[in-house]
Structure 1
Amino acid sequence: MTQTDYDLVIIGAGPAGLTAGIYAARARMNVLLLEKTVPGGQILVTDWIENYPGFPEGISGYDLAEKMKIQAEELGLKIETAEVHSLNLSGQSKQIVLKDRSITAKSLIIASGASPRNLGIGEDKFMGKGVSFCATCDAPFFKEKTVVAVGGGDTAVQEAIFLTKFAKKVYLVHRRDELRAAKILQERAFANDKIEFVWDSVATGMEGFFGLEGVKVKNLKTKEERTLKADGCFIWIGILPNTSFLNNAVETDEFGFIRADATMQTSVPGVFAAGDVRDTPLRQISTAVGDAAIAAVCAEHFIENL
């Protein structure tokens, strides 16, 4: 095979990427982990994690990410801050194009994760001026203020509950008449007298001059429109895969998530996917870690069989 820079390159340093790096480093592979921001991924902005095995009292997202990073680095994993611009997977050697250079690898694991979806109602105007996607980051700015939370899944409900530690009132706007979140989270939300549910409704606009002052909502059944006076708006309506660099290099589903088989291999031999970027029915830390373990071991087997 053509000489390559690395046995394995991993893109993304969330729980999936760090786990893959731990397995690859323990296997004594020549491996490089690329992360465009800081290691940890979305769990860095998760206040408290209660469903990850081994932490019965729970653990903060930051602390869990830091433990994963330290473990990986102590095993010898090299983590580099760099953004991947494109991939060339046409040959046996996988080419990863960065801003200042290109590197090659025998195998590749894509663990680039996903990002929050926008409402598309002008929230860009109020980013940093009332609009946020991260309660853990920004909730303290809204102490004793009124905020709007948009969404009905696990993240939306969990973060809305967290917001009540600071805000005096939280409107939770959901387009249906029941939540999609886990029952235990629903029970906690319904029992929290700081949360007011705005059912069958969607956010349609934002008001404010220097900063956010209100969120327009529309009831989908009655067509009634009103403005919820609020100092902040937190948005949790789903995620989009971080796959803009792929340029159709591997097969994806209609939403852009990477298709992979039971071994985490994509449509390109030797290229694997793990974590939130993958087409999967569940996106949790535990599933990302499981994906990554399979991907790393299968990447090792792929390289051995070259």
Structure 2
Amino acid sequence: MRIVTRPDFDGIVCAVLLYDMESIDQPIRWVEPNDLQQGRVTIRKGDIIANLPYHPNCAMWFDHHYTNNPGTPFKGLYRVAPSAAGLIHEYYGKRFPRDYDELIRQTDRIDSADLSLEEVLHPENHPYILLSMTVSGRDTSEESYWNRLVGLIRRNDIHAVLADPEVKRRCDRVVDINAQYTPVLQKHTTLEGHVSITDFRAIDEVPNGNRFLVYSLYPDAVVSVRIRYDGRKKKRVIIGVGHSIFNRHCRVNVGLLLARFGGGGHRGAGSCTVSAEAADACLGSIIETLKRNEPNE
């Protein structure tokens, strides 16, 4: 039996919970949603999918994204919710060998971006938020770290996890990167009405800074657009869209909007991956829709 999940903090916690409750005998398969949607991932009988779109071959499925409702019977749990890990925790109930209540509460807050301005500006003062920022996803060379975190969280409380030498090194690096991220973000961000647009296609190494920082720097924006190449070959472009977590006046369902371009997500956040040739046309349509700010449900 194998876990197939996404390399973000919610996916990490999903794996922690599933390891405790199921007979997992194969390494975790870490994948991005678009890879699954485009058929670039083989799902085998017995796989448990979490925090990703449904696949008919899987044995169990857990997810919380607005656009992923499969419309077919399955074993597991699906509902629009703050996190996929929270649904797994609900599904197994009181059968866990240890108390994960605080871990789930924090995962719900982080994945749904239910954060305060102080937490965004000073994540180093908030252990779970800082830990979540060490998981950047997409870079498969990081798989050993993702697996390390799963093991550490299963066996330790948050303070012991942060004391692990590798985790501590990465947390220190996150603090340093966040300090350097503001000027880079400002250099590559423009404001069109109430839409902030951060375009990192002009730089080769996209910084992994605080993804919530843009909302504090551009308080008049109700939604952000983030653009970057998917890999060094620059053949595909990743477009991420998110409602501001401080200026909550965006009325566009982001998941539904990006589903038109082969992506999806939540009502308040999502992404799509398009060819480099089609990117500007897709962006033009996405940005115009966001500027109109009309409900699309």
Larger fraction in strand: 1
Higher relative contact order (CA 8 A, sep 6+): 1
Does TM, scored on the shorter chain, surpass 0.5?
Answer: no
Q: What is the TM-score normalised by the length of structure 1? A: 0.22
Q: What is the TM-score normalised by the length of structure 2? A: 0.23
